[in-house]
Structure 1
Amino acid sequence: MNFSGRTYLIDVSIDKQGWDISKESKVISGYTCYKATKKISLNGKNFIPIEAWFTPSLPFSVGPTRYGKLPGLILYLNQEGIVFYAKTIVINPKEIAFKVPKSGKEITQENFNRMIDSAVNNLKTKN
């Protein structure tokens, strides 16, 4: 992950449990999506709500940042006001090669989240 001009190697342990999947649905970028929610702790004390909308039509159990483990691609995710969404989806049948960084500062997901939260709070206080 690149952030503020530095590369970070984040030790991510994905929580495979905890999603509550509802029957509530809506269309995002032409795909029928279903709502899933969970609460996570970034600091071991306070829990924040996560709302994800995923589509089983694209059977990839991935999403933005470290979220996934749902029965379809996450097209919308809201983490305490920070929103990720798919504006356009292009299906590319070609194999894509990408490089995994081999060097960078090793950091835990929890510490990386704290760093991001601090940067967001700094931006909020400047506005």
Structure 2
Amino acid sequence: MKKIFFTLFVAIFSMLSINAQNFQGMAIYESKTSIGDKMPKFDDKQIPPDMQKMIEERMKAMFEKTFVLNFDKTASIYAEEEKLDAGDEMSRGFKMMGSMMGGGGKQYKNIKDKTILQEKEIFGKEFLVSDTLPQIKWTMGTETKKIGEYTCYKATAVVPTDKSNMMNYRPKKGQEEKLKNLKQEDAQKTNFMDMVEMPKDKTITAWYTPEVPVSQGPENYYGLPGLILEVTDGVTTILCSKVVLNPKEKAEIKPLKKGEKVTQAEFADIMMKKMKELQEMGGPGGRPGGMRIGG
């Protein structure tokens, strides 16, 4: 009985706090992408071992990121935690690859106006991807679990795949073993884009807490009766590690303005054109030099 009373008290207190005039909240998320044994290996003898190790460590870091979500009752700003950039050519290259894999740039979404804006950069050119916030048809579950101090409920949905995110590509049927066992001499003349495809949609599982009754979440996810603390698509998991309600320092939650304004579909087309250019130059998705896929 005491436990039920305490849970109700916390829920009511949270609702009163959120209904305050200047309510804001902050949530920190850790994003991890599982790539199994697919991490590229380097066997180019012209690259020193210490350099090979550094490249592999930087590539691994691209799959483990930290994001901060600042939110109020209707809008939010979601951004990757800023890290020191060495400013050299390698750092710029990894920054570009990170952008192609869905990282980098701030995201603004307004659940009242149904708008979403995201800053993106490709080859030094800045874009502002602007679109209508897509509706997510959630299937509500009864399963619960604890994330930190919060009781969370399960929900699932099928959502369209982001065609501008390279991480959403999957090997075509019968191509996975070829990619894993590809030899360096064959990689020089292989068009990797012919060996992969983009699924139309994907199934996601989310865990939300009514104890923070705002319809917000990381990335494009929203629309549940509580803050989303965890979401996974089977490959990438985004997990909340900290929630702060009414922080002392208020964040600026306003629509983004930087960059050439394009729709999500237009940006996906631009990304595909840039990918083809990279293939012709021997970059990602084309002829990767000393990089081979697999173990």
TM-score with structure 1 setting the length: 0.73
- In structure 2, relative to structure 1, the CA distance for the partners of 1:78 and 1:108 (3 Å cut) is farther
2:219 matched to which residue of 1?
65
1:81 matched to which residue of 2?
235
2:263 matched to which residue of 1?
108
Say which one has the larger Rg.
2
Deviation at 1:108, TM superposition (A): 2.8
Letter of the 1:54 counterpart = Y
**Is the deviation greater in 22-31 or in 81-90?**
81-90
Quote the Cα distance in structure 1 between the aligned partners of 2:223 and 2:143: 18
Structure 2: tracts of 5 or more residues without a match? 1-103, 106-119, 164-197, 276-283, 286-291
2:206 matched to which residue of 1?
52
Deviation at 1:92, TM superposition (A): 2.1
Percentage identity across aligned positions? Answer: 33
Letter of the 2:262 counterpart = I
Deviation at 1:47, TM superposition (A): 2.0
Which structure features the higher share of strand residues?
A: 1
Quote the Cα distance in structure 2 between the aligned partners of 1:8 and 1:19: 30
Deviation at 1:100, TM superposition (A): 3.5
Deviation at 1:110, TM superposition (A): 4.7
2:135 matched to which residue of 1?
16
- In structure 2, relative to structure 1, the CA distance for the partners of 1:103 and 1:55 (3 Å cut) is same
- In structure 2, relative to structure 1, the CA distance for the partners of 1:12 and 1:59 (3 Å cut) is farther
Q: Deviations over 1:28-79 (max 9, x none)?
A: 0210000110011226962201111000000110101111010000000113
Q: Deviations over 1:77-113 (max 9, x none)?
A: 1134122111011222554324533121323335657
**Is the deviation greater in 87-96 or in 51-60?**
87-96
**Is the deviation greater in 73-82 or in 94-103?**
94-103
Structure 1: tracts of 5 or more residues without a match? none
Give the secondary structure class of the aligned counterpart of 1:88.
strand
Quote the Cα distance in structure 1 between the aligned partners of 2:268 and 2:239: 19
Give the secondary structure class of the aligned counterpart of 1:36.
strand
RMSD: 3.1
Which structure features the higher share of helix residues?
A: 2
Quote the Cα distance in structure 1 between the aligned partners of 2:240 and 2:160: 25
Which of 92, 96, 105 aligns to 2:251? It is 96
